[in-house]
Structure 1
């Protein structure tokens, strides 16, 4: 009996460690206000965008190296401190250099707590307005052309897991509307895949107030109920 209890204790402890390690990653958001063609590398992972905002997810290193490239030339390199389960929001410009703006906790009571940029407001940036375009709250919304390309790429992929991977990659540097997300979900065959897509894409939704409409994309009420339960837990 003692051996059995010891074995159960070890198994429970091991599962706890695995669960904690599975969540041991961080995020890094960087804004470059300067004009130019920039690419940022973080430990081999790279992001390029013309919008000046760079997002890195699932960073496993607590001391990653950040490299900023402009016009294919390295202009900045620095090793930063990045604690697990946090999002570091920073900015870089050739005039002021690197600045750590804020550090946010990824989780609140065990739930992912952050949106793409909603809680990452930059001090030297104009306050978000209601219109589309630079400086507005929708300046990162995927354009119709960008969405059309993403949708076509997803349709060409026959495997559901690869479709989800493509969607996640497509949303790394763009926000998405509820209507666009519903279109992506309708490409998928199985409700389980649609549910996984909806939950994964939720942080990138620009109009979360319309998230209940996503329920119409599910074929079965059970999947819709699971998604609504997920929504109920969001802040």
Structure 2
């Protein structure tokens, strides 16, 4: 009896080899996945138990997929027929989301090197985009052999259009436009700088501890050259800083004489 092939392991190896993408970077359900062997030609596919009875694989399957594919349906891998109708598949149905990807790759007349670069670029940007829309009430996206469809509802905003983002030279730019039209807030990292307690004070108004900390700050801020003072930075010295620097310099000279 021939040894059973682990399709998922093979798909993992091929996506890494062809697209330089790890399956760890692609959302895959934690449910048990099984080898899928379609009646329609050969392929290398794995999927959920919901995908065992019927697989949505060709252009004519797109509308049925959007309308009646069961929740929990998942399919990933490679499949094709004829000479040029081959592609990489990623299909998934969640409570508020339906994704159908049939991305061209492996056909006899395809520029597979170019398509591999496109697939990598598209998938990386798409899943970053989807991650920003976790609370979308509707998220239906189709990319299939140059045809595309998007229907996304986020809060009180809706985007719906036909057209392929995959075919665009810069998918990230198009996803950013969609986010903007949906008024999705973009969180920016705020770097909070905590100022020392002596900041903004005159030297004579500082406590002894603050004066000590300020002197240490200046020691780190300036470097000494024989007979001269060289400032590291661009701001001119204040009069207080000049006096303090000379005081520090004199202290160091006195220490060196001892």
TM-score normalised to structure 2 length: 0.23
Higher RCO, Cα 8 Å, sep 6+: 1
Q: Which has the higher Rg, Structure 1 or Structure 2?
A: 2
Q: TM-score, structure 1 length as denominator?
A: 0.25
